[in-house]
Structure 1
Amino acid sequence: MDSAQACEGESMKQHHRRTHVLVITFAMLLLFGGLIAVFDSGITGFAVLDTGGIWSQNSTVQLEQNVTFLRVSGSVSGTGNATMWLGERLVYNSRQFTSSFENVCVDTCTIGDVNDRLEIVVEGDALLAITVFNYTEQNATPQEDVAIQPVEENTSTNETVPSNETTVSGFGDIEIFAAGVPPTVDNVTPANWTLFNISAITLSANVTNDTEAYVIANLTYPNSSFVQLVLARQVDTNVHNISYQLPAAGNYILRIVANDSDNDYNTSVATEFFVDLNFTKISNFTPQFVGFFGGLRNRTDLNATLSTFLQLNASDKLQELPDRRLNETNYTYQGIDMVGNVLLYHFNNESGYENRTHFYDWSGIGNNGTLIFLGGSSGENITGNLRGGFEFDGANDYINKTSTTTPTGDSSRTIVAWIKSYGFGSDRAVVSLGGFTTNQLFALAFLTANSNRLSVWGYDHDLTGKIILTQNQWYHIAVVYDNQSSGIKTYVNGIIDINTSTTDFSTGSGLTIGATPNGQNNWNGIIDEVSVWNRYLSSDEIIKIYKRQKGQYIDIGQYESQIFDAGVGANWTNITWYTETCYGCQLPDSQISETGNFIRGTDMIGNVLLFHLNNESGFENDSYIFDWSKNNNNGTILNTPSNASFTAVGKFNGAYLFDGINDFIQVPYSASLNLTAHTLHAWIKPNVSGSNAQTQFHGIIVKQESDNLGRNYFLGYRSTQGTDYSIHYSIIDGAGTYRTIESRNMTKGVFHNVVATFNNSDLSIYIDGLLETTERFATFSPSATNVPVKIGWTNENIPSFFNGSIDEVAIWNRSLSAQEIKDIYLRGTVRLNLTVRSCDDASCVGENFTDVINDTPKQTLLPTNASRYFQYRFNFITDDGDYSPQLYNVTIEVGNVSMSALSDITPVITNVTPTNGTRFNLSQIEIGANITDANNLYAIANLTYPNTS
């Protein structure tokens, strides 16, 4: 605040403490502190609005002619005294500002004399008074004037403000209407055509009137019923609102009705808004525009600090498979290709398409199903994994379609479903193709001998997997069959379970869900989202469907900010934000405890080895790996043929691609790598896993003797089949005793985050941020060895070299916590992509968003031009549906506007309007000037209000 502003502020404070006398003289010409209204001599009535103590707004309104009484009404609030005089008569007296007054008649409500003077004396802080003086003119001339001005008096009050009363410090803008004029209703929210993805909203409107208004909202529900809600007026405003919980999704119609105490009323235009609880939208906060007042000159924050955060929303509608064989890959990232889909049941009991006995095929092929009910408790639509599902009683109900276009014979096929079993123990079929005769059946089922393991039931060709399922838990299951070399694979939650080359099937026609084709072996539980395809879906496609449907979050979403207004052209220089952890960031170097624009940094204390594997110029080359922990545990690449090298396709920047033949990285012996408690970490992407004939161990991070006896730590993977593997972690103590744990089967060809921890008793494996397995042993110490650490080899004689990519290898001499491990996983799994645009208009019409290349949470020199308006957009991306990026506290910073002159000649300003002494009887005016200069111009108007602001 400059000195002038400071003086003005002090002057206002002193003004509020003084006694105020407002003098109102009535005639045909009104002067409001410089604002003059001239009425035609034929007009016989007028009204004056004034607020004593603190002026908010002076107004005039023309009334109908021949109205002949004076009415004073309004309310007072605060502490002190108020008296009103007409001439020498006392017409109102209040010792404390706690009452209201209405219809105070003056001169017994007879015709007022134009020479009467209404005087309002306030001793205290504030008075709000609405005064209406209606009269019949007697010999007045249009040149007489009425002055409304605060008159300073040297009176004072020694009264003490009661402790239980609040001193009024200000009022908002107030308007006045004559009796018979209905209220105005505007700024209705929700606005027309608003779309919500929430059910808790606020209904609101601005209602302005000279008497107390009673405001209701008529709300029509989607089912055409309606409710009436009373809106509450907010203090010192004309805003009336109510918070309301909408009962259901659908279309709503809102109309606001305002009634006043004179029985006048008005209504708003009906607005229609929509609620779609499956609408995908980033939620949880709306950035607020704060901190800008007046001309912009210095660096200014345009966003408030926010206590909530943004993240991806779950969306069942988007998680369901697309209808009508849509190929989403043509237009969306990570889309599903539905080409070849011949049956799709969502089980949502969609109105107009389905009921409890009829099931619509959303593939568009027409393979609609019918419920067969033979007794017991009939099947029911129920909450499924994705919106609706169908519950089978395990006895006598199933869904049948006798004639279908589903795959027959030995043609390629895929069946996918979500299931929840209420109990295993006997033969139970999920989805069956064909008939219940030799070679005619092809079913996903659970068989008595291994009732909690997924099987392919082929009548004489039964195959059973290894993964054990638990009752009352949702699982995603799939089977793919190819009559060529690929054979049969089954998947449970995206993991390959059965993998065989069997191709001897001759499936018949027909489809049964919840039983075998003969109506037996009934499913006991819920089935959801069944799809059948006439092609062999790849592992990537199955995993993509599972990831899309398994988690809380969709894989990509977008948040677009409001358009920010700097008031003038500005350089939008910086934008900062906070995240949960540092997304897309390598592990920090030099054993630091990381801090920055995130809630939780990674603590590298105890880090004894860190390989980024980026082939950093000046630090690394084709045979040398630099240790970024700065412990000098640098590595050497051995046995490097031409097909093993650094690759640019890593989890963070680069990685090292091992050929699986004989290359590995060796780190010389160092006492810092002889560990007791420890953590081993790497991102791995194996390519080949070995054969069924031989179990093979492949090294990731290994420190053991060549005779396989001394083993300080061993982290690797074991392959048992051609396309899957499990993580193996073991330690040998000084007595030669093995301590070993192993993970579930995992699929090759994608990056996984693998972490092993030992805390002197517990061995634990974490896969992709979650604890996979752990086992507690009696406290022991690993055997100390004076051998090197090897990355990519086990040091054993069998073919045990790593084949694939390894990135971000790290070793700590302490056991990391579960939260630390999860945060490290999030660094490589979720991310935010920022784009920005600056605009020359408030709607940003025609301007495109520009990508900000480095998406770290502090951006300077944004790729925008100096403009008045600015908007940002964040894409939220996750590789794992269990996690979402989180965005906190976005702050935009605006740099100085350049005002340097290009010459010594100053601009010429002429023809300023309004001219000096101009009087208006309207409030909408134009401020203008002619300005001449050789350079581009920047012009502002400094306007002082009647209250000196």
Structure 2
Amino acid sequence: MENPTRFSKKSSSIDTEGIVFGLACLFVYFTAVFTVFFYEDAEQINNPDLEILNSDVEAAKVQDDPGFDVFINSHTRGDDLVAEFYHNSENPQPISVIGLEGYQLSKNEASNGEKILLKVPGWNNRYFKLQIGHDSEIFEFGIKILNVQSYPVVGGKWTVKFETRGTADLTIKAVNGTTWSNVNGNNDLKFLEIKCKDKVLDYRWVNNSVFIENYSCNGTGYETSKVLTSGKHTIEVKFGNIIKYAKNYASVLISSTPIVDTNWTQYWQYGDFNDTGYNSGEELPDNKNVETWPCGANMTGNVLLLHLNSVNASNYTLDSSGEGNDGFFNTSGEDPQGKVVSGKFNNALSFDGVDDYVDCGNDSSLDITDNITIELWFYSRGWSHIDFPAIISKREADPGFDWELYYWRDGSRIGFDDGSGAKFIDLNVNPSLNTWHHVVITKSGTTGTLYLDGVSKGTNTLVSSFGTGDSVRIGTLGTDALDRCFNGSIDEVAIFNRSLSSDEILDHYRRGLSSHITLNHSNGAFSYSGDFTSAVFDTDSSVQWDNISWISNAMGELPDNQQPETKFVNGNANMTGNVLLMHMDEDSSGFGRAIIDTSGGGNNGTTYGDTDGTVSGKFDKGNYFDGSDDYIEVPFSSSLNITNAITIETWAKAKSPKTVQSDYPRLVSRGWVDSYELTTDILEDNGSVSFFLWNSTGDPFFAKVYFDIFDDQWHHIVGTWNGSQMMIYIDGVGYPGNTFIGSIATTSTNLTIARAPGAAPQYLNGTIDEVAIYNRSLSAEEILNHHKRGILRLNLTVRSCDDPACSGESWTDVDDNSPQSPSIIDNQYFQYKFRFETDNASYTPVLYNVTIHYGLQDTMPPTATLNSPSNSTTDTDGNVTFTCSATDNSALTNITLYVWNSTGIYYANTTSISGTSNQTSWNIKSMPDDGYTWNCIAYDNVSQIDWADANRSLTLMHTNVTQAHYRWRADDGGEGNWYNANWPYRKEVSLNGNGTSGTDYQIKIVVGNITGNVNCSGHCQEDFDDIRFIDDDGVTELDYWRESYTASNNATFWVEIRDNLSSGNNPHIYVYYGNFLVESASNGTNTFIFFDDFNYAGPNLDSDKWFTDGTGIVNITNNELYVKTTASWAYAKAVTKNTIDISDKIIELRWKVIGAGTSGEECEVAYSATGLTDSWTIFRKNGFLNRDLKLYTLQSGSSAQRWDSANTVTIGTYYRYRFVDNGSSVEVHWLNDDYSEIENSGFFNRDPGIQHIQLKQGTTNDEGVF
């Protein structure tokens, strides 16, 4: 916007005038002598409060009378919303709800604090307006959510808070289809505990409900359950006759961490075997043996070891520790043989829970006073009807017993007591029924630790020394409590006179996980197998089982393209120098098929005859050759002309009997006497296998072993030469041959498989797989590892289950190369089984760990968190940074900040975010004093949303504001009234009158955040559109014009003052600011006597203000008045349409020269008594009278006067001109664009009778803008 042409009344001075920026303009204004004072304290507009009665409520404060904006976000997603509110007006007030349909109000009027219930069916976080008619009295308003919903995660805890007063029976139960229990995890919820304030309470479980008689908490109670299923769950809380409901909507959390099963490492060792089986890695070893294989048991210090596999004729079960602490099985006359049942390992003993127990006596070896370990496996069929049934004890009487291990009657806890009456371990571990569990107690010094299923569950301080002399009994307490018996099976009881480490205990537990592994001898064919069945994994909800991967020793086909292998723990193949590798997996038959070389050498082969590539190979597929015309041929390649070190290997399964074979069946050959070959011989003894090399003179060298491979079994055959020693290997065992020094002969002969080249083919009848040739000699270790790849196998089956016992689910076979994606249904439970297979009992597969990846449909919304500012913050400067963070299980997309104040939504902004965890900050400046509520809502990539759990409040209260809670000010009719409630701030400006100044004067005021006469402290709009000037009555708006502004810094305003500014009068006005929703009310025409800023499209001037004359161009260009003369002394001009009395006025304009003519006046402002005739020239420029680009003033007529400036004018630079008339004389001021003065003329006489203002140019091509 250009600065206007303006006229005003005159001014002598302004005490604190700020810097002003402007554009081309003219204005006339009144001025007066006055002094400006500025008060630093700002008042704030007062609005009613909304009291929030519950921290979970999300509500905004009220807006202007007569309504209230209320925001409620209860996260109920379609459930009914129930809210209550009250109104403390003495007179009934009508109530209405705007923006909702189908709502229900308990009453249509509110008064005297009476509570009103509002019910909104199918609530979906909608905004509505609650309108309560009221008069001017002060009142309070509050709202409380009664059924705030929660969103726990499946597997997590859900706590319901409830308030009670008085004494009554308390009953809590699951309703509306929700199932729960306080014992097992097969329901929607598992009840965990109930508390009053911080105290855990005892309760009775009555009719599947928590029941407490005469519950008297008089405060906050907490009921906590574990969430076991997804979806909606409802709990009913009944206190006396009062019933309340709590709801949740539980979702499954996507696991970012897969299940990694490292609970064992299983090795097989070679040993004696028979057709019925060979057990390994199961029961602990006898007689204090120390196993040397990895994860083997160290039985040092073992003083009792009962495998409990049998009971002899004398009713004893034998101690295998070597200490002779055999146990007598007391069954009260029942047949003990009938109580030998299937155990964790082999057999176990069954205890009836009435009077069965095993007594091991009180041998001195069992009187361990210091470090000790007690361990066993137990399988409980049901918890006891009496308190503290024992698992194992060393006790005769209480007090004074040695020690005892027991459980609570409901099975929720396991305890260990040291007999002192004060030292014990008592832990809530909840072992499940009908499942084997491994329990261990260790004492190291005075520290006792309880382990369940390999994991430490807790520690406590025990006595430094146990008592002695009591007998060890299994399944009961001592002689004083023989009725406290165990109901279930017990296996593998062991006591050590040392404290086992946690690693040892974990290894012992892992032995139980692999208890199903048995090596089975298969028909004398040297094939052995055994199964490992994993634990059942529980994900707390139904999931999609994506893939399973595992780490083992090296197995399977050799790697392609000479790539280094690293995926196995040991046995990784080094394929350096590999020039041919055929896996034979093409799975097709017939003549002319391509057999691919995967070494990267491109030595592909072609089938001849009717070779069958669909048969099973040693690994995947193989090629069967019929012994008559089937073979594979590989064309000549220089890479196969190996002259130095070499290795040739293959797997072969030759047909039996030998009579179906040629005399010398070939395996791999480049021709007899030509180069190299692997061959066999059926004529020598039982047959032989040979590796031949020839030198360039045809001399043969070989390595031979007499070995019958014609047995329909797979054999690994390898020939090597390292430049000296020749070797042949059969099934990993090496046999030396000739020493050969020299080079292998080269040939152009093609390579053949299953026959010899040339006229005497010598076909093989059998199957070949995994043919490889290297231009180096493999080591014996490498060859053994290659052999193991073919004889060791892990056969994987998996199943998903809908119950923790996997009862009835069948196994699904999957491929045996890691990783695999099993095709199984979604379920909560998962189990896998590996069959360990070996063709040589000296070698075993080794499985190191298994990783199971599973995924969920993302039904869990993101989680939004409010970071800062903290709740109930009071800010004093108005510049607030809000920070919110969000997390999600899949991917975040957006986060939105909402800020509400007393008028509704004050601020809303959405920011894009990404990843699974992110945060965003918003800096809001110039927030007016008010009470605010704020929250953030996060969005994920499947359009799920989440508000932070509870709104936070924020109070903006600038320094020296005395009221913490704001109310409408009284309508006292005085100057304390507020101009408009939407403007939250104002400052007072006091004016001191001077001289004879009257009314309707214009003054300049600079308002700024950084510089200016009035400082709004960052609470103004950045363009100062919100500034309003109000008369001292507090309500009358004054006309003003905003001349210019610098964003967020300051703005210059001209304000028309209506009060009398003559000497002795000291009026004041108010500057209002802080409303961020309004636009500027700037109006120069209303503010000044005459005003034009030329800020309109043009090209014509405003015909109500101007007419044009002379020869040239006069128009509006780029929001400026453009004047150019096209004829000499033609005076192109703009002339005010009406006469103006300039007495006691100021004329101000902004101008620049943009082009100069050859001579004469460049431009001038003139007054004329007749309207068009020059009578007063304000200034001239250019070369006239040799004053080049000078400023001067000339009065025409009889009293001609002239003022010549001492400075020059720069073309293209804006200047300001100010003509001041005091009624009898005039003064001319030449100013820079920033209002700094260049020169002034001083006062001299003026010519009376001036009527018009002319803006004109003089000689040809003079041009300028105003």
Q: TM-score, normalised by structure 1?
A: 0.40
Q: TM-score, normalised by structure 2?
A: 0.31
Higher relative contact order structure (alpha carbons within 8 Å, sequence separation ≥ 6) = 2
